[in-house]
Amino acid sequence: MRWRIVALAAVVLATAAAMVVAVPLARDVVAGQGVAVLEDVPGPVTGPVCPVDDRYVDEAPEGLRSDVLAAWRELRAAAEQDGERMCVNDGKRSRAQQQAEFDEAVEKFGTPELAADYVLPPEKSNHVKGFAVDVQPWSAAEWVADNGTEHGWCRRYENEYWHFEYNPDYTAGCPAMLPKATS
């Protein structure tokens, strides 16, 4: 019995080590080696409790494209200079993570059409593409809505006060908001 536990522990540790090694390759481009598909790179499943509002988490922004991550850090620093603390309640998701979120929303709302008002399927989600974040608490999302354009961040959907997307072109102004993600 003891050897089975040791063998199981070895398999779990080897799997975890392989995952840790594989994720950085998604961002590190090495000549002659394949590059991981960003849409398959998972984001964190959760994070520590948001220090501003314990109803949310403060997920590490791992997995975001490098330009988006730099822009997020700049945005967060600017907010803190204004006395606004914010948390990433949700950032990068893999296709599998997004599918699980979508399936959960279908179960909650009853149909894929209703679910898509709040959670898109993986092939349509900008969380999967690595340039969207959900900001909490509400006051922080409001700060980003008022100040994010300067840093390339725009709120995109009227029904999601928390959802922001990065595009360096947004510094010239945000596109018109859509009523919902499926608009």
pTM of the model: 0.75
**pLDDT value, residue 62:** 85
**pLDDT value, residue 125:** 94
Please give the residue that has the higher pLDDT: either 30 or 181.
181
Q: Tokens representing 101?
A: 């979120």
| Tens digit of each residue's pLDDT (9 = 90 or more) over 43-93 | 667 789 999 999 999 999 888 999 999 999 999 999 999 999 999 998 999
**pLDDT value, residue 8:** 44
What is 39-172's CATH topology? Muramoyl-pentapeptide Carboxypeptidase; domain 2 (3.30.1380)
Look over the chain and give the mean of its residue pLDDT values, rounded to a whole number. Answer: 83
| Tens digit of each residue's pLDDT (9 = 90 or more) over 18-27 | 443 333 334 4
Residues 73, 60 contacting (CB under 8 angstroms): no
Question: Which of 122, 164, 17, 143 shows the shortest CA–CA distance to 80?
Answer: 143
User: What span, in angstroms and rounded, lies between the C-alpha atoms of 68 and 54?
Assistant: 25
**DSSP bridge partners of 100:** none
Question: Which of 139, 127, 118 shows the shortest CA–CA distance to 165?
Answer: 127
**pLDDT value, residue 11:** 41
Query: Band of the pLDDT at 181, cuts 50, 70, 90?
Result: confident
Mean per-residue pLDDT for 143-147? 98
